[in-house]
Structure 1
Amino acid sequence: MSTLRGTGIKDQLTRQAGRGLFRRAGLNSIQARLTFIALFFIVATALTMGGAGYRFMVQFESERFRDHFSLLASYLAGSAELGVLLGNEQILAALCDGMLKIDDVQWVQIVDRSGNLILRRSHPVPAREWGVAEAPVMSRSLAEGESLYTSAETTVKELGRVAVGYSLGGLDRIKRQFAQRFVFISLLLSLAPVAMYWGLSRAINAPLRDLVAVAKEVSRGHMDVRAAGGSLRESRALAGAINEMLDALETKRRELDEANAAMARQQALAEVGKFSMIVAHEIKNPLAIIKGS
């Protein structure tokens, strides 16, 4: 028995502590709790979807970024075939200088098939972090006695390799832009439904406050007040039931007043009849004495 009593006291203290915590947090009303629940789930969903979308887009753009410079390296390798074949550094220097004019390209390097450096061009202050895209410089030649107008097989030989070093700053800018956009979209997707939930909670809370005000007025004896009901069908149905109850109470109160008035009249008539009997008795006794004498 003492164990059950102790468990009950502990549960009561736990409930009181929970109510105190909700009160201090401002969550002691339907509107606040609905808004908090909506805010929690919507923000969690928006952040989860935003994070997943951000990772997907960053991965996609990273691949596109690398593919872009791989394509530039392949283009440079195809253009550098003649310069590597002839050993003409002027042609290769013009190609490298043109490549350096492209955004995020930091340095360009061309080596022969033995790995010996032929030419290297770079910006004065290259970026700290960069990626490298490489492509082989290939030479295609026809077999002896064949011409371009026949379907002869070509011989492919590697002359060297080109390497393009590119800065990751452009990719970082893309990541920051995506992060800012996803944060903005996530906040927008979070705040719009929360505002809608807040409006719905107000539509629920306002009729309840009106019912509380009506109950207080009725407790003071003002039976002529009625509940408004609000804009929701359920709150209007509840207000209609409360108003019907108040109408019934008013009718019963009026009937009770009428019954009390009728009882008061009957009691007054009974008192008058009793008084008349007493008066008649008091008058009858002297008359009997006088008649007997």
Structure 2
Amino acid sequence: MKRPGIHIRLLAAAILLIGATTLSLGYAGTLIIHEFVKTRFEERISFLARYLALNAELGILIDEKEMLKRLSQNLLSEKDVIGVSIFGTADEPLAEVIKPFSGVLSVIESPVILKESQDESRAFQWNPPSSVIGKVKIMYTTEGLVILLDTMKRRFVWLSGIAGLFSVLIFYFISRSLVAPITELVQTSRKVAAGNLQLRADLGVLPETRELAAAFNAMLDSLENSRKALEKANLAVIRQTTLAELGKFSLMIAHEVKNPLGIIKSSMDILKKDIPEGDMMVEFIEDEIRRLNRLIEDFLLFARPANPAFRPVNLHEMLKHCAERFELQTADIPVTIETDIPEDNYEGLADPDLLVRAIGNIIKNAMESGGEDENVIRIRAFFEKDFWIAEISDQGPGIDPEYIDKIFEPFFTTRSKGTGLGLAFAFQVIKAHGGMITAQNSPEGGAVFQIKIPKNDA
């Protein structure tokens, strides 16, 4: 059985509390009203009796029964008065008027007192210094009082119920506003547990729930950062393991593949002497031998740990020479190389052999990106904060966004004749120099590679 939530518990507690308070106040209020109305009713009847006794004084003295009867009939017109009787000194009845009534009657009596040189207001005192000459008796019913009290009780119950219901509704919306952020936080945590790790909780408006949601979001951010750090560490471990295996495998390649390949090339050079020049099969064999040799060299170069031999190098001059070397290769292809390299010298500590090879791989990759179409390669150097930056851009088709995070991984290539080691080697060399290399697509088209090396003046 599912246990009730905080919203149901708060609402149940509110109903019990408001109900108990309403019943208590209703009961107490009913008792107070009952006593108040009953007292005022009895005071009214007592006043009528004293008033009748005051006016009946003269009629008793002169024994004027008709006058006493008229007084009785006048009083009988009052609501709730059923009968009026006036008695003389010896309790003899002088006047009596009674309306037909079948219910229970109550009686109140008041003495008729003979006043002696007193103003009329003294007649309303209960024990004036005078003699009693008679009495009046009033019979009345409390049925109207009972009906009035019942009506008031019903109205009070209705008003109390409406007030209680209204209070419950108000508390319902208040408790709902308190519980809603917590419910939303629970739903968010379930979605995050289902795999939506980018989802974050709404902070809400209440200070307490804002603090809770902020703490929850901070926990998710911390978990996300830890997950990314773990993935990064795993990738680093995998990469180091892969490089170690490549190092071992490179020794086997050097002996088991490169040496036989050299023998095949030497044998082919001897056989060419007996074969007519321009034979297509010979050209195919030589082309494949060169391709295999280049692949093995790239593989061995990448597998060998990049331990730079740092020395003072004019980086601007080195980049110019690298660009000029590739300009010589553009004579037969539709590629133009443009440079924007400062004329002043900048000497930094670097390994020029490794750095030229790494930059050369990027320039070569840029030259091949355009295929048979016109392509402009722009090479420039500049400083940004504490970095020397070499930027190489092309006008090729750019990098597929799906592959932009993978292009520096070993053996990743999208070209049929590519080895997938050129950019991986460049990444390894730049990292060994304490720098970084990035690739992105230019808004104008093509790809842009940036090499950032910390300024380390020689």
> Partners in 2 of 1:213 and 1:28 — Cα distance?
17
Deviations 1:17-74 (A, max 9, x none): xxx4xx5xxx711111111111112221221122112212211221111111111000
Q: Is the 8 A contact 1:203 1:230 kept in 2?
A: no
> Partners in 1 of 2:210 and 2:169 — Cα distance?
23
Q: Is the 8 A contact 1:81 1:137 kept in 2?
A: yes
Deviations 1:131-183 (A, max 9, x none): 222111122357xxxxx9xxxxx973222111111110221133123313432
- Matched residue SS, 2:108: strand
> Partners in 1 of 2:260 and 2:204 — Cα distance?
77
Paired position in structure 1 for 2:6: 30
Cα distance, 1:32–1:283 mapped onto 2, change above 3 Å: closer
Paired position in structure 1 for 2:242: 268
Provide the aligned C-alpha RMSD in A.
2.4
> Partners in 2 of 1:220 and 1:267 — Cα distance?
33
| Amino acid of the structure 2 residue aligned with 1:174 | L
> Partners in 2 of 1:140 and 1:205 — Cα distance?
78
| Amino acid of the structure 2 residue aligned with 1:214 | T
TM-score by length of 1: 0.78
> Partners in 2 of 1:52 and 1:213 — Cα distance?
47
Paired position in structure 2 for 1:178: 152
> Partners in 1 of 2:257 and 2:74 — Cα distance?
143
Aligned counterpart in structure 2 of residue 69 of structure 1, from 25, 45, 63: 45
Paired position in structure 1 for 2:165: 191
Gaps of 5+ in 2: 120-127, 262-458
Paired position in structure 2 for 1:57: 33
Deviation for aligned residue 1:256: 1.9
Q: Is the 8 A contact 1:80 1:95 kept in 2?
A: yes
Aligned counterpart in structure 2 of residue 158 of structure 1, from 108, 126, 132: 132
Paired position in structure 1 for 2:433: none
Paired position in structure 2 for 1:256: 230
> Partners in 2 of 1:265 and 1:113 — Cα distance?
130
TM-score by length of 2: 0.51
> Partners in 2 of 1:284 and 1:33 — Cα distance?
80
Aligned counterpart in structure 2 of residue 107 of structure 1, from 75, 83, 88: 83
| Amino acid of the structure 2 residue aligned with 1:41 | L
Paired position in structure 2 for 1:239: 213
Q: Is the 8 A contact 1:43 1:186 kept in 2?
A: no
Q: Which moves more between the two structures, 263-272 or 84-93?
A: 263-272
Cα distance, 1:136–1:202 mapped onto 2, change above 3 Å: same
> Partners in 2 of 1:230 and 1:131 — Cα distance?
68
Aligned counterpart in structure 1 of residue 104 of structure 2, from 129, 132, 141: 129
Which protein, 1 or 2, shows the higher relative CO under an 8 Å CA cutoff with sep ≥ 6?
1
> Partners in 2 of 1:75 and 1:259 — Cα distance?
107
Cα distance, 1:155–1:57 mapped onto 2, change above 3 Å: closer
Deviation for aligned residue 1:89: 1.6
Aligned counterpart in structure 2 of residue 39 of structure 1, from 1, 9, 15: 15
> Partners in 1 of 2:155 and 2:226 — Cα distance?
66
Q: Which moves more between the two structures, 155-164 or 244-253?
A: 155-164
Cα distance, 1:251–1:178 mapped onto 2, change above 3 Å: same
Aligned residues: 252
> Partners in 2 of 1:129 and 1:198 — Cα distance?
49
Deviation for aligned residue 1:115: 1.9
Say which one has the larger Rg.
2
Paired position in structure 1 for 2:187: 213
Cα distance, 1:182–1:155 mapped onto 2, change above 3 Å: closer
| Amino acid of the structure 1 residue aligned with 2:193 | S
Q: Which moves more between the two structures, 43-52 or 75-84?
A: 43-52
Aligned counterpart in structure 2 of residue 97 of structure 1, from 48, 73, 83: 73
Q: Percent identity?
A: 36
- Matched residue SS, 2:7: helix
Paired position in structure 1 for 2:256: 282
